[in-house]
Amino acid sequence: MANWAKSGTYSNVTEIQYNGIECVKKELKEERFTEKNLARFQREYEILKSISHPNITRVYEINGASYIMEKADCDLEEYVLKNELSEEEIERIIDGIASGLACLHDHEDQIIHRDLKPSNVLMFNGIPKISDLGVCKPLLNNFIKTSAYSKELMGSMRYMSDAHKEGDAEPTFHYDIFALGRLIYFLEKKEHPPLERSTITITCVIKLLFL
């Protein structure tokens, strides 16, 4: 599978060599450059840098509005759509994502990802790693915070719980647990979950609880 470098809404990603290793440079787009977005970008790096876990993407160095990270083969969306996955592999991927998510939640700052979806999970030789923490919420707020976090609606609608969509209450870990249940739906069905809640997606959440 070809090595992966994909630009997103807020950043460009380009392949580079770093200390003899093939990596990518993630750089905040010029048209997205604001004080708030820069604070989010730098917070994302600092949180990722503080974590060493096999299911969290590694970062190496930051320089202003760009940082260097390990290079993936593809994201989970591409991986699922291009491969026929056995039930065993699906369970292994779910276990990996759940382990990475637990690491974020158990972090000393209690990190809520808030935008867990297939394109924000990167694949490395079949191993899933959570990435893209730009809209995460550290519950204990020891990282850059005042300009980096607001109560504006963050995330992807198809992977949001009703509470997340309403946006009235403070974020909780349940945001991520619900999104993980919808990721299971995507893994099993090879399609994104419907916008409305369904018994199928609820079944996927129940399956998660009994893995």
Q: What is the mean pLDDT of residues 92-103?
A: 98
Q: Which of 134, 137, 129 lies closest to 97 in space, CA to CA?
A: 129
On whether both 60 and 127 belong to a single domain, the answer is: no
On whether both 24 and 128 belong to a single domain, the answer is: no
**How many domains, in total, are found in the chain?**
2
Q: Which of 162, 106, 102, 159 lies closest to 135 in space, CA to CA?
A: 159
Contacts of 34 (CB under 8 A, 6+ apart): none
Comparing 79-88, 125-134, 198-207, the range with the smallest average pLDDT is: 198-207
Residue 173 has pLDDT above 70, yes or no: yes
Residue 33 maps to a domain: yes
Q: What is the mean pLDDT of residues 147-165?
A: 60
Residue 59 maps to a domain: yes
Contacts of 79 (CB under 8 A, 6+ apart): 1, 73, 123
Q: What is the mean pLDDT of residues 98-104?
A: 97
Q: DSSP letters of the chain?
A: --------SSEEEEEEEETTEEEEEEEE-GGG--HHHHHHHHHHHHHHHT---TTB--EEEEETTEEEEEPPSEEHHHHHHHS---HHHHHHHHHHHHHHHHHHHHSTT-EE-S---GGGEEEETTEEEE---TT-EETT--SS-TTT--SS--S-GGG--HHHHH--SPP-HHHHHHHHHHHHHHHHHSSPPPSS--HHHHHHHHHHHT-
Residue 54 has pLDDT above 60, yes or no: yes
pLDDT number for residue 137: 86
| CB burial string 20-42: b at 16+ within 10 A, e below | eeebbbbbbeeebeeeebbbbbb
Residue 2 has pLDDT above 80, yes or no: no
pLDDT number for residue 159: 75
pLDDT number for residue 167: 62
Residue 136 has pLDDT above 60, yes or no: yes
Residue 47 has pLDDT above 90, yes or no: yes
pLDDT number for residue 140: 72
Q: CA-to-CA distance for 25 and 67, rounded, in angstroms?
A: 6
Comparing 10-24, 37-51, 52-66, 129-143, the range with the smallest average pLDDT is: 129-143
Q: What is the CATH number of the domain that holds 24?
A: 3.30.200.20
Residue 202 has pLDDT above 80, yes or no: no
Q: What is the CATH number of the domain that holds 147?
A: 1.10.510.10
Residue 1 maps to a domain: no
Residue 39 maps to a domain: yes
Residue 66 has pLDDT above 90, yes or no: yes
Mean pLDDT rounded to a whole number for the chain? 84
Q: Write out the residue range of the structural domain in which residue 132 sits.
A: 74-209
